[in-house]
Structure 1
Amino acid sequence: MTEASAKPTSEITALPGRGLNLGLALLAFAITFWAWNLIAPLAVRYADGLGLDAAQTSVLIATPVLVGSLGRILTGALTDRFGGRTMFTILTAVSAVPVLLVMYAGQIGSYPLLIAFGFLLGIAGTTFAVGIPFVNAWYEPSKRGFATGLFGAGMGGTALSSFFTPRMVAWFGYTATHLIIAVALLVVAATVWVFMRDAPTWKPNTDRVMPKLVAASKLAVTWQMAFLYAVTFGGFVAFSTYLPTYLKEVYGFDLADAGARTAGFAIAAVISRPVGGWLSDRIGPAKVLGISLAGAAVMAVVIALKPPPELLAGSSFVLMAVFLGLGTGAVFTWVAQRAPAERVGTVTGIVGAAGGLGGFFPPLVMGATYNAETHSYTIGLLLLCATALAALAFTFLLARRDRARA
């Protein structure tokens, strides 16, 4: 047990400045997630300008997700060693570089460079693995579900990107939009460096990175939570990145209208994530996950039936977002309860990577199974339903095993 985990709860509760540091972590997470999702809201523009088919567009959308997922394994382990303040500052500042490179690729109309620089843009998506251990160190176990859920609301950066990026391109132009986002990243990085502090109870884990990753990979909780997060957060990432394309193909919305509706989806998930953490603190994460996965399975079938716009279709996507958001909050409450304190960052990195990878493959599946004649994604949505039901059964088995051990 680490020195941090040995501290009495009353001492952790009295830590001053935790609200400020949670807010700064939320800010850094939101702006980097905006950058991470920079390509998806403009995918329709790229597809039209470069003559891309559905498969090529889905690859373009999914590429940043890949690095943002796998990179979390390393950033989580490095956060255990260097702390959240250092890692947030570095990653937020470095993320400005691929934003500018993507801008250049778009200017010259190069699909290969968009793929290559979109790969680098995935760096911005790794900050999630920094924030979870950083916030955990500031809060006592009984409030970590809500605190990490509130931090996780920073995934609303995807909503900001979906809503504002197409509009900023219309208002200011393509180049200026990317410059504004790059400058915003640098400003936030400087703010974090000046004002953020690691929790007084946090102590660096100076073990070498690879042995830490190996140790975390040997924990059953790591892979159990990785699977569940791949379904819940992966579903959110898949919808929030692919939804503009989906809405265009199925319902005929233009870029701005599709972006606004995607933002609504992301906002619903953002709001429900801290609610999922809060409920998990009170009734247990397994029950909240059960509600989340059952609801997601039902809504996948409903959406596959192509409900008519606006009210029925909009309500269906919002409910899907709510269920997925509840699940993402519940998973990391479970991680905080079950993972060893000195391994939280490393476990978070692996679990977070699984969540990101869960969002990498669905856009590819959606693109591959799209029926151009009927404008339908039915096969992909039914596969989502089946996956959610499998995760639901696994959640029940895991909860029953925990009760038996207790």
Structure 2
Amino acid sequence: MSTRSNTGGNHTESLNLLSFRGNVKVLHLTWLAFFLCFFTWFSHAPLMMAIAESLSLTPDQVKTLLILNVALTIPARMIIGMLTDKYGPRLTFSVLLAVGSLPCFVFALADNFVQAAIARFLMGFIGAGFVIGIRMVSEWFPARHLGTAEGVYGGWGNFGSAVGAICLPAIALLFGGEDGWRYAIGVTGVIALIYSVIYYNSVTDTPKGATYFKPKKIGAMEVTSAGDFFLLLLMKLPMYGALALLAWKLSPAGVGLLSEFWTWAIYSALTGLYLLELKKTWSINREVFSSPPAPIHRYKFKQVAILNVLYFATFGSELAVISMLPLFFFETFTLDPVKAGLVASAYSFMNLVSRPTGGLLSDKYGRKPVLMILVAGLACGYLLMSQIGASWPLYLAVAAAMACSFFVQAGAGAVFAVVPLVKRRLTGQVAGMTGAYGNVGAVFFLTVLSLVSYQTFFLVIAGTAVFSFVILLLLEEPEGHMAEVMPDGSVSLIDVA
């Protein structure tokens, strides 16, 4: 039995983020790739008023574009996770950036709502770029630095949407005219295309001499026990439910952009896809019912299910709150729209520090204890936000939102400090499923918001956080080693402590 190290550089050294050598160089190049995914994915948001005017969009059509922009990301994260595990993060990230630039150009050239809608729907795929870097970073950093490295990757990469909100209107003004927004969107596509080449030529999947472990079979996630097989099928249901919910929002019961016929056609298609996935999952995992793997090669899918629930509450609520917070401040404190947007941006700006901090604390004090503190803080934070009203001083409301956002984003960072420690060869798929649950959470919370008051909306998230805390009690602290089989048949042990 052999043991291998999965990092470049000296394990005894502290993590120097100011370096641009070895594994830290790979980290910087990878978070920048993710940054560009979000920069490109949300490029329409700060330009939406100009886009709506140029294409003569109705309010319902604008809402539809916003929904379509996130619809494909849920299945895309699962697909990209599988491709990453099979083909490696270097190739997958490079191809995703290159292919993802194409809908940018289509959207920039759109002359009507249908063309714009198709482009925004396809853009959802680039939002799945997040899961690729999770696997890349896990290949280059030891367990003792992994939470911090994943936190930096997620937090700094997520900031791409905020930078886009600042820069893209300026680029549109620079080009000027009614087509300024088209040039700005086109520029994001050009940048993504150029960086796809830079990234491919600048990184490798693993440090020199290390082995990149691939799944034995592709098409569905591997599990290692009969009980885990049924739990996997159960955990797939909310993802299909979220897509059905998006279809409902486009149906006559929602914004009315889909007819009754097409709504039911989508419901039927989702049911068929779930049955097909069930069949594929069975074909890949049926051996566990007759001859389960040796204990050393097993992993507990329960860990994945718990992380899914935690990311639903953390990143799911983050996406939902970022979407509604400007309007909340605008209506609660009767601010002008620009000031409301600036005040609300404080929530997302916290990502630069909060997510890396969550990972760093996990490395230092343990994955489970830190998650318990952060999830409890998240529940209290949203409970506090549910009490915000017009009688509050604005500075106190902003302080409450920022305090809440710290726990939300640090919690998301702490979740992905655990994800790469479940099963190395399946890291992309685990990250894909957990990441998808973040989008599922966003769809759920935004649907709740459309039905209730702001105060109730925040209370629902707080309640979800309390439920997540209870589920978190079942999480097992990663310890010991993960076992993977080398090409020569020997067993490699990867430290997860």
User: Do Structure 1 and Structure 2 share a fold, with TM-score over 0.5?
Assistant: yes
* Rounded Cα–Cα distance in structure 2 between residues aligned with 1:309 and 1:45: 33
1:33: Cα distance to partner? 0.9
CA RMSD of aligned residues (A): 3.0
* Rounded Cα–Cα distance in structure 2 between residues aligned with 1:196 and 1:240: 33
* Rounded Cα–Cα distance in structure 2 between residues aligned with 1:114 and 1:361: 25
The 1:96–1:9 alpha-carbon spacing in structure 2 relative to 1, beyond 3 Å, is: closer
1:41: Cα distance to partner? 3.4
* Rounded Cα–Cα distance in structure 1 between residues aligned with 2:51 and 2:445: 20
- Equivalent pair of 2:357/2:413 in contact (CA under 8 Å): yes
Structure 1 portions without partners, runs of 5+: 370-375
**Match for 2:147 among 145, 148, 152?**
145
- Equivalent pair of 2:371/2:411 in contact (CA under 8 Å): yes
* Residues 385-394 or 60-69, more deviating: 60-69
The 1:27–1:304 alpha-carbon spacing in structure 2 relative to 1, beyond 3 Å, is: same
Alignment pair present for 1:203 and 2:287: no
Match of 1:330 in 2: 414
**Match for 1:161 among 152, 160, 164?**
164
1:297: Cα distance to partner? 2.1
Q: What residue identity is the alignment partner of 1:69?
A: I
* Rounded Cα–Cα distance in structure 2 between residues aligned with 1:366 and 1:161: 26
Give the 5 Å matches for 1:4-403.
6-8=3-5, 13=10, 17-43=22-48, 50-52=57-59, 59-105=64-110, 108=112, 110=113, 112-153=114-155, 154-172=157-175, 173-200=180-207, 201-205=210-214, 207-212=216-221, 218=232, 219-253=301-335, 256-307=338-389, 308=392, 310-337=394-421, 339-369=422-452, 376-398=453-475
* Rounded Cα–Cα distance in structure 1 between residues aligned with 2:92 and 2:356: 23
Q: How many residues align?
A: 388
* Residues 127-136 or 381-390, more deviating: 381-390
* Rounded Cα–Cα distance in structure 1 between residues aligned with 2:440 and 2:302: 19
Q: What residue identity is the alignment partner of 2:37?
A: T
* Rounded Cα–Cα distance in structure 2 between residues aligned with 1:399 and 1:328: 17
> What TM-score does the superposition give when structure 2 sets the normalisation length?
0.70
1:291: Cα distance to partner? 2.5
* Rounded Cα–Cα distance in structure 1 between residues aligned with 2:373 and 2:69: 30
> What TM-score does the superposition give when structure 1 sets the normalisation length?
0.85
- Equivalent pair of 2:36/2:192 in contact (CA under 8 Å): yes
1:64: Cα distance to partner? 2.1
Secondary structure of 2:204's partner? coil
Structure 2 portions without partners, runs of 5+: 14-20, 233-300, 480-496
Q: Which has the higher helix share?
A: 1
1:171: Cα distance to partner? 4.5
Q: What residue identity is the alignment partner of 2:189?
A: A
* Rounded Cα–Cα distance in structure 1 between residues aligned with 2:181 and 2:7: 51
1:305: Cα distance to partner? 3.1
1:365: Cα distance to partner? 2.6
1:183: Cα distance to partner? 1.4
- 1:250-274 CA-to-partner distances (Å, cap 9, x unmatched) read 4455554444344432120231101
The 1:356–1:278 alpha-carbon spacing in structure 2 relative to 1, beyond 3 Å, is: same
Q: What residue identity is the alignment partner of 1:119?
A: F
* Rounded Cα–Cα distance in structure 2 between residues aligned with 1:254 and 1:103: 29
The 1:101–1:61 alpha-carbon spacing in structure 2 relative to 1, beyond 3 Å, is: same
Q: What residue identity is the alignment partner of 1:133?
A: R
**Which structure has the bigger radius of gyration?**
2
Q: Higher relative CO (CA 8 A, sep ≥ 6), structure 1 or 2? A: 1
1:331: Cα distance to partner? 0.6
